[in-house]
A and B are shown apart, each in its own frame.
Chain A
Amino acid sequence: AQRVTQPEKLLSVFKGAPVELKCNYSYSGSPELFWYVQYSRQRLQLLLRHISRESIKGFTADLNKGETSFHLKKPFAQEEDSAMYYCALNVGVEGAQKLVFGQGTRLTINP
C-alpha cells in the first residue's frame, strides 16, 4: 500500500530550539519525497524535495530507505516557521508527479 504517515498532528517548540517533523512512508517502488508547507493565509507550496538535497529556510530532510523515513529538521526554530507541514510521496510512473500526502503536522514556534 502507498501511504504517508505523519505521526504528530501538532508540534510545539520554543524559538531557538531544534525542530524535527516526522514522516514515514510505505511504498514498494523507488521513493521520491517532498515536504510542502502552508503558512497562515497562504497557499500550499513546495518547501523541499529529497532529490534536490538542498536546504530551504534552514530546513533539511534526509531520505532513510532503511527506516522508510523522510524527517524534516531545523537546528534553530524561528517564529516564522509556524505553519502546517505536509510530507508527500510521489507514486507516479516515469517521473510524472502523482502525490500522496500525509495528514500534516501543525508546527507552532513559541517566543
Chain B
Amino acid sequence: EAEVAQSPRYKITEKSQAVAFWCDPISGHATLYWYRQILGQGPELLVQFQDESVVDDSQLPKDRFSAERLKGVDSTLKIQPAELGDSAMYLCASSRWRTDTQYFGPGTRLTVL
C-alpha cells in the first residue's frame, strides 16, 4: 500500500541554523500539505500545493520558512534561521485532489537547541 514518505524522521539543530525537510507524496496525488504540530496541540496547516503551485500559504511564517514543489511531485520545507519556538513535529500529507481524503506521513520531529 502506497504511503507518504518523509525524511529525516528526527532532526536536532541549534538556533540560527538552517534545516530542511523532505516529503514524497503518494504517487498521483496532486495536492500536498505541510503541517506543524506543536506538542499538545493539533496540526496546523502551513502551506498547501496543487501540483507545483502554492494555493494557500497564509499561515506560513514567510520571513523564515519556505516551501517548494518544483516538479509537482516531492516537496521541501525549509526553515532559516531556526528558532527555539520552531521545535515541533512537521507533518506532510497528500491527497488525489483538493477535495479528497488526506493521507499523512510519519512526520519529522524537529528539536531546536
Contacts and interface: CB of A to CB of B under 8 A. Distances in A.
Interface of A: 4, 9, 43-46, 86, 88, 92, 95-104
A96 B99 contact: yes
B14 interface: no
A59 to B, nearest CB: 16
Contact of B41 (A88, A96, A103): A103
B43 A101 contact: yes
Given A98-B45, A98-B56, A103 B40 contact: yes
Interface of B: 3-4, 31, 40-45, 48, 55-56, 91, 95, 98-107
B45 A46 contact: no
Main secondary structure of the interface of B (DSSP, over half): loop
A43 B99 contact: no
30 contacts: A43-B3, A43-B4, A43-B103, A43-B105, A43-B106, A44-B43, A44-B91, A44-B104, A45-B103, A46-B101, A46-B102, A86-B42, A86-B43, A92-B98, A95-B98, A96-B55, A96-B98, A96-B99, A97-B95, A97-B98, A97-B99, A97-B100, A98-B48, A98-B56, A99-B45, A99-B102, A101-B44, A102-B42, A104-B41, A104-B42
B31 to A, nearest CB: 8
Contacts of B91: 44
Main secondary structure of the interface of A (DSSP, over half): loop
A100 to B, nearest CB: 8
Given A86-B42, A98-B56, A99-B45, A45 B104 contact: yes
A101 B40 CA distance: 12
Contacts of B31: 97
B36 to A, nearest CB: 11
A86 B56 CA distance: 22
